[in-house]
Amino acid sequence: MVRRGPQDLVKPTRWVATGCMLVHRTVYTDIQKRFPELGQEFFSPSEHDLVDHTKEMERILVSSSIPLEARLSQALSHLKQGESLVKANSRLGTGEDVIFCLRAAAAGHQPHIDLGLVCGHIGAATYGPFNTRTAAVS
């Protein structure tokens, strides 16, 4: 769909490249609320999902109101959930623009792409609808 050239369509997407991104300031404040440990590192590749689950594991393990076996089982469950989220959302090599959009989505802001814009790239080459493969998936 993107490679068919500019078209009058705005659609939800998983992430958008930051080179031509419009972001309302509430996205940043909502990311700060959702991920306070990041400070203002909105684009960092920090494994925030694993940090969240690790904190919950610690809370469970130090609790004395839950039997030991139940605490270990719950902690293991959180470890597996955190690992699963990291693998799905924060793989090594994932660009900071992808991480930012995933955090924005987790904070309640769905990224969208405007297919009417053609944004070039300053550098060795410019990529757009007229010089990329046409066998792309919509």
Tens of pLDDT, residue by residue over 26-54, are: 999 999 999 888 878 887 765 666 777 78
Contact call for residues 3 and 132 (beta carbons, < 8 A): yes
Same-domain pairing of 62 and 125: no
85 and 117 co-located in one domain: no
Distance CA 61, CA 72 (A): 7
- 102 and 37 co-located in one domain: yes
Domain count, the chain: 2
Chain centre to alpha carbon of residue 101: 5
- pTM, two decimals, is 0.60
Region of 39 please: left (phi>0), alpha (psi -120 to 50) or beta. Answer: left
Structural domain boundaries enclosing 79: 47-89
**Are 76 and 103 found together in one domain?**
no
Say what the pLDDT of residue 93 is. 62
